[in-house]
Amino acid sequence: MSRLLAIAFILFCFEVGLFLIIVPWTGMWDDNMLLDYVGFLRPVILHTIFRAAVSLLGLVDVFIGLLELRNFFRSFKIANRPTP
């Protein structure tokens, strides 16, 4: 994977993860226009357990971003290692 693509993936993981952690607890989640079209799902989507599950998915995504960031820095160490 090229370094630019790796950086883009890491930033994408952090951005999506933070979005999924924060948004379920804001007013944007409650005033979602899509909930008007699927009214039978409204109680499920607005339930606290569902919001917590979405936030947990965001935490997993941030964790994946951290793992990829660690691997990205390790690739620099391997590439700069002197050959015997």
In a domain, 62, yes or no: yes
Which token pair is 45?
């989507």
How many structural domains does the chain have? Answer: 1
Domain assignment of residue 36, given as a range: 3-79
42 occurs within a structural domain: yes
Q: How many CB atoms lie within 10 A of CB 19?
A: 13
pTM: 0.82
| Residue 66 is assigned to a structural domain of this protein | yes
- Residue 56 lies inside a defined structural domain of this protein: yes
Is 41 inside any structural domain?
yes
Query: For every one of its 84 residues, what pLDDT tens digit does the chain have, with 9 covering 90 and above?
Result: 588 999 999 999 999 999 999 999 999 999 888 888 888 899 999 999 999 999 999 999 999 999 999 999 888 776 666 666
Query: Which residue in 75, 59, 71, 79 sits closest to 9, CA to CA?
Result: 71
Confirm whether 69 is domain-assigned.
yes
45 falls within a domain: yes
Comparing CA positions, the residue from 20, 30, 10 lying closest to residue 55 is 20
Does a structural domain hold residue 84? no
